[in-house]
């Protein structure tokens, strides 16, 4: 049995499109994170970034279980003393529905040097239309 390690020249990236309408946020984010890392491929190598591109449409129609719409709070700090900002999931879905999926996937990816590169391959859109039809994305069932 021979172990093969992937090189940069051998990487072939595919494009996938995911319809998020009616899907649960956490389950959707785990599937997307696996594809961005390349774990669904047979030649997965942890230190090589060989994941695929993922397009998510209808981000505004995701679902969450329980009372997370009101109880889940997203925090960020402006850098000034006492300026810790917070927003609930419900308000964030109204303002920026793309950001909810982007944050969920970002927090499921490994915290290393490849995280930023992997997140650049994630394209999230609030509505059903996307400008990546020239790449011929394949539909992905989640």
CB-based contacts of 97-101 (< 8 A; 24+ apart in sequence) = 97/59, 97/60, 97/62, 97/126, 98/59, 98/124, 98/125, 98/126, 100/25, 100/59, 100/62, 101/20, 101/25, 101/28, 101/29, 101/32, 101/56, 101/59, 101/62
Query: Is pLDDT at 25 greater than 90 in this prediction?
Result: yes
pLDDT at 4: 79
Q: pLDDT, tens digit, for every residue of 128-141? A: 999 999 999 999 99
Q: Work out the pLDDT band at 2, boundaries 50, 70, 90.
A: confident
Superfamily grouping for domain 14-65+96-128: Ribosomal protein L13 (3.90.1180.10)
pLDDT at 46: 87
pLDDT at 12: 94
Inter-residue contact 93 to 76 (CB < 8 Å)? no
Q: pLDDT, tens digit, for every residue of 67-123? A: 999 999 999 999 999 999 999 999 999 999 999 999 999 999 999 999 999 999 999
Query: Is pLDDT at 57 greater than 90 in this prediction?
Result: yes
């Amino acid at each position: 049995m021979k172990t093969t390690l992937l090189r940069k020249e051998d990487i072939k990236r595919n494009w996938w499109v995911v319809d998020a309408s009616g899907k649960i946020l956490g389950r959707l984010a785990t599937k997307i994170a696996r594809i961005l890392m390349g774990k669904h491929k047979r030649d997965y190598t942890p230190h090589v970034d060989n994941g695929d591109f993922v397009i998510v449409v209808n981000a505004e129609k995701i679902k969450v279980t329980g009372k997370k719409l009101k109880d889940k709070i997203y925090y960020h700090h402006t850098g000034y003393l006492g300026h810790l900002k917070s927003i609930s999931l419900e308000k964030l879905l109204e303002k920026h529905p793309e950001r909810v999926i982007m944050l969920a996937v970002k927090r499921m990816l490994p915290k290393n040097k490849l995280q930023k590169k992997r997140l650049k391959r994630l394209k999230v859109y609030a509505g059903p239309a996307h400008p990546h039809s020239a790449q011929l994305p394949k539909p992905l069932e989640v």
